[in-house]
Amino acid sequence: MRHPQPAIAKKLNTKTGEMIYYRPNARPVLADSLEVQEGYYSERIHSFNEMLEQLNILQDAPEIEFLCKEIIEARGILNNIANKKNMA
């Protein structure tokens, strides 16, 4: 199954001439259960890892940095979900 790629917007920095990668609008996951949220963020991390495998550090450094930040954020959310599940 092919995972959808996240929306990554590119913007050219006119001063330096390099591309800037950013996420246009962060939207929280609206889900009834922690299990659904956990599945969403797990799949998100998996798809980001697949994208990272296809990138070249010399050509795609800004995009690699962006994806790494997204993975770190998703892992933090997964840790919060695990803490909530342990408290329940």
How far, rounded to the nearest angstrom, does the alpha carbon of residue 68 sit from its chain's CA centroid? Answer: 7
Task: Calculate ∠ Cα 75-35-24, nearest 5°.
Answer: 50
- Residue 15 falls inside a structural domain: yes
Confidence (pLDDT) at 12 = 56
Q: Whole-prediction pTM value?
A: 0.66
Confidence (pLDDT) at 87 = 87
pLDDT digits (tens, 9 = 90+) for 14-34: 566 666 665 555 566 666 788
Confidence (pLDDT) at 2 = 42
Q: Which amino acid is at 36?
A: V
Q: How many domains, the chain?
A: 1
Q: What is the C-alpha separation between 49 and 40, in angstroms, rounded?
A: 14
- Residue 49 falls inside a structural domain: yes
- The residue range of the domain holding 35 is 9-87
Percentages helix, strand, coil for the chain, rounded to the nearest 5?
55, 10, 40
- Residue 38 falls inside a structural domain: yes
pLDDT higher than threshold 60 for residue 7: no
- Residue 54 falls inside a structural domain: yes
In the DSSP assignment, the letter for residue 14 is T
- Residue 22 falls inside a structural domain: yes
